[in-house]
Amino acid sequence: MEHSSLTINNEELNELILIIRKIHDFDFSVYSQASFKRQVTKLMILEKLSLFDLRTLLTNDANYFEHFLIQVTVNVTEMFRDPLFFKSVKENIIPYLGSYQHIKVWNAGCSTGEELYSFAMLFDDENLYQRSFFYGTDVNSKVLNTAKNGIYTLKQMKQYSENYLATGAINSLAKYYTAKYDAVAIKQALKKHTLFSVHNLISDGVFNEFQVISCRNVLIYFSKDLQNKVIELFYNSLANFGFLCLGSKESIRDPNLLALFKIIDKKNNIYQKIPLTISS
């Protein structure tokens, strides 16, 4: 089958979005159209599916949608990704949290869990783990199962160890996992304060009050309006003076939303919630 027949135009893409919304109650119309189109085209080429095939699968095969969701919602993650970001968290957020008795951390769009475990390790290194609880959420349950299991390849861990040391860590990452053959498992002691669950940033609301929210490499796939809606959700989910971590690739662009935060680190886009003063 020629690749030319495995493409999709904007009108066909909108029809597909409509089918998905009607059958699976998942709205891709708020995603960045260019990004969604790119991922769908990539999937069609990879699986040699015509648009008719794809439509048929999404309409008639209940299990296929879960697979489709994994493929088109980009799940690229690693432990201590962008080490300078974690160095900034260590320098700018950790000291502030030192006096807190209870700390809640939300990693939104956590994918297979590497980012959440990175936060847990960082907090453990800084003696804050026992007072903290880490929530990881994602739209798709399959990647969450990987996160809950906490099993990764030994090859991955070699790269993660380099990232970890680049944050200025003095420990070895090996203290947090046990290795067996070519796989490693995150130790139970690190997993006991973690919870992974399904949460859709587009349709679900506030579910707790957090001192830290981290959401990196997720908003870039959303339309501008949806980005603003999600930033509002994060603002409402943060405790007063809580921190929002977006990473180097994303920032708060809307001036009205930006006015609700203090910029802590411009390069890594770490913000602190400014509580609204109630005027009499």
Predicted confidence band at 203 (pLDDT cuts at 50, 70, 90)? confident
Quote the longest CA-to-CA distance of the chain.
Answer: 69
Predicted confidence band at 63 (pLDDT cuts at 50, 70, 90)? confident
Average pLDDT rounded to a whole number, residues 62-88: 84
With a CB cutoff of 8 Å and minimum separation 6, the contacts of 124 are 176, 190
Each residue's pLDDT tens digit, 130-171: 999 999 999 888 889 999 999 999 988 988 999 999 999 988
Q: Is the pLDDT of residue 4 over 70?
A: no
Average pLDDT rounded to a whole number, residues 40-56: 91
* DSSP one-letter code for 173: G
Q: Is the pLDDT of residue 279 over 80?
A: no
Helix (H), strand (E), coil (C) string for 232-251: HHHHHHEEEEEEEECCCCCC
Quote the pLDDT of residue 19: 92
Quote the pLDDT of residue 96: 96
- The encoded tokens of residue 147 equal 């996160």
Q: Is the pLDDT of residue 31 over 50?
A: yes
Each residue's pLDDT tens digit, 98-121: 999 999 999 999 999 999 999 999
Q: Is the pLDDT of residue 2 over 60?
A: no
